Amino acid sequence: MTKPYEILVVDDDMDIRDSLQIILEKNGYKVRLAKNGAEALKELNVKKPDLMILDIMMSTDTEGFDLAFELKNTPAFSNLPIVMLTSFMEKVREEGPDQFQHILGEEWPAKWLFEKPIDSAKLLKKLDGILKTA
């Protein structure tokens, strides 16, 4: 890393936010936090980060998707790299796919997906690769 890249972490789970902040800052990243889509929009309008880590399921099953789609359709943020986090696949395994068909049928608004629990080494490697090519 040549400069301290700034990452916005958006997750409704305080433990996930705090864990990611510790891991990312220990590895030289600047971190800002938001607990939902509304807070994320406020943070984005203060300053655009270099990358956003965004939970899919927050107050609704699609809050993260909704925010990512909104950003992809907003010229100022359309090129913002977004890494989506999810426990979605675990939830689908537990509850069955029927109630999630509206999500499964959508085109994903981000190129990168990490399943919770997060493998921090893999995440750091992926972030480094994304930011080097951004």
SS3 state of residue 10? strand
| Complete domains list, the chain, with CATH | 6-133 (3.40.50.2300)
Instruction: Kindly give, in sequence order, each residue whose CB lies less than 8 Å from that of residue 49, ignoring residues fewer than 6 positions away.
Output: 6, 7, 8, 32, 43, 80
In the prediction, which pLDDT does 112 show?
Answer: 82
Phi and psi at residue 11, to the nearest 5°: -160, 140
Write down the pLDDT at residue 1.
47
Contact 67/37 with Cβ under 8 angstroms? yes
The position carrying tokens 């100022």 is 76
Each residue's pLDDT, cut to its tens digit, for the chain (134 residues) gives: 457 999 999 999 999 999 999 999 999 999 999 999 999 999 999 999 999 999 988 998 789 989 999 999 999 999 999 998 887 666 655 765 565 555 555 566 778 888 888 999 999 999 999 999 87
